[in-house]
Amino acid sequence: MSERLKELLRKGDIETLLKLTKNSEDPVSAFFYIAGLRQIGEYQIALSYISEHQMELYNTNAPQLIEWHIDILLELNELDQALNILKQYDTFPYFSLETNELITRLSDKVQKKRKEKYEQRHITLPVIEKRLLSMSEELMLSAVQYLDTYYHESYEILLGKVLREAPLELTKSLVLFLLRQKGSKSQFKVHKFDQIITADITKLQEPLNIKAVQHIIASLKDLTAKEKEVNFFKNSLDLFNQHLLFYYPLSYTLKDVPHIAEYLYYLTTNMMGNHLTLEDFSLEHDFNLEALLRIEKKYYFDKFLHLS
């Protein structure tokens, strides 16, 4: 039975897995039930189930139970509760060296996350500004994450400066997404690819709803349909989504759609290990080389690839 449950979990057939394990009295099946709930993000149901069957699960496989229990609480950002649960497990009977070491390791992990959460709440405005204007993508992303959590419209003065001066094009795109998400009603001057554009946040569109974007995705799907690699289209789409974010809020021209799709097809082919020059790729697929070179320059694919 356990082999079948393993296969269902591996294949992602969580619905069948949950049906088979929900009311099972077998402790091993109970762990598969929790695993299935974790897979689909049903953390609250998993916590309720653990609470109802805690001692039975503990006696079957204490380390597994403790680790999953704490991981679920961390997913829910319930850090104080995680510490309390670890203290509870520390008093449970039939203690082992393995369990002791696990509780110590998990306690350190939770304390570290609590410290990071505390520090994040106390980032000063100059630090946020420095991170947003840095060349470090990691620092920039941490600042955007902070603003997403603790956003206030008073930050718009700083964000206006960032949209004009940030050295990373991605920073400006993410800030515009943030302002749109938070419902800003302002207009900003954006320095994007050596040009100044005016962005009215109320008029910025969701990229995937834009007609040209939808056409590029459809063209890309058609172009890559004959490729044997299972994930070829998915990789092409991931690459396009990255460029879409990098290029935002600028838009793609409808007449360029076929050549943009062809260029993304070329990039994916190289990314999948079949390295060709653009010229050779154009000859092989009977694409217009001049058109692809124009696309490369017009949509800043050279800068995009340099930063990827």
* Per-residue pLDDT tens over the stretch 155-196: 999 999 999 999 999 999 999 999 999 999 999 999 999 899
Q: How confident is the model at residue 84, as a pLDDT? A: 93
pLDDT at res. 271: 87
pLDDT tens track for 13-29: 899 999 989 888 888 89
Q: What is the mean pLDDT of the chain?
A: 90
Asked whether residue 131 carries a pLDDT value surpassing 90, the answer given is yes
pLDDT confidence bin for 120, thresholds 50/70/90: low
Which residues neighbour 81 within 8 Å (Cβ) at sequence distance 6 or greater? 73
Query: What confidence score (pLDDT) does residue 119 get?
Result: 64
Assigned superfamily of 207-307: Cyclin-like (1.10.472.10)
| Mean pLDDT, rounded, for 65-82 | 93
For residue 62, pLDDT over 80 is answered with: yes
pTM for the model: 0.60
**207-307: same fold as 2-119?**
no
Percent of the chain with pLDDT over 90: 69
How many Cα atoms within 13 Å fall on the side-chain side of residue 300?
Answer: 20
Query: What value does the mean pLDDT take over residues 65-91?
Result: 92
Q: Please report the pLDDT score of residue 212 as a whole number.
A: 95
Is the pLDDT at 1 greater than 60? The verdict is no
CA distance 102 to 300: 49
Tell me what the mean pLDDT of segment 259-263 comes to.
Answer: 97
- pLDDT score for 238: 94
CATH class of 2-119: mainly alpha
pLDDT at position 307: 58
CA-based Rg of the chain, rounded to a whole angstrom? Answer: 25
E strand or H helix that includes residue 187: strand 187-192
**Confidence (pLDDT) at 28:** 84
- What pLDDT sits at residue 117? 73
Burial (CB count within 10 angstroms: exposed 0-12, middle 13-18, buried 19+), residue 286: exposed
Average pLDDT over residues 39-57: 93
Is residue 176 classed exposed, middle or buried when 0-12, 13-18 and 19+ CB atoms within 10 A define those classes?
buried
Confidence of residue 221 (pLDDT cuts 50, 70, 90): very high
pLDDT confidence of residue 32: 92
Highest mean pLDDT of the ranges 2-6, 118-122, 292-296: 292-296
The domain spans of the chain are 2-119, 125-203, 207-307
**Site of tokens 């360029």:** 256
DSSP 206: P
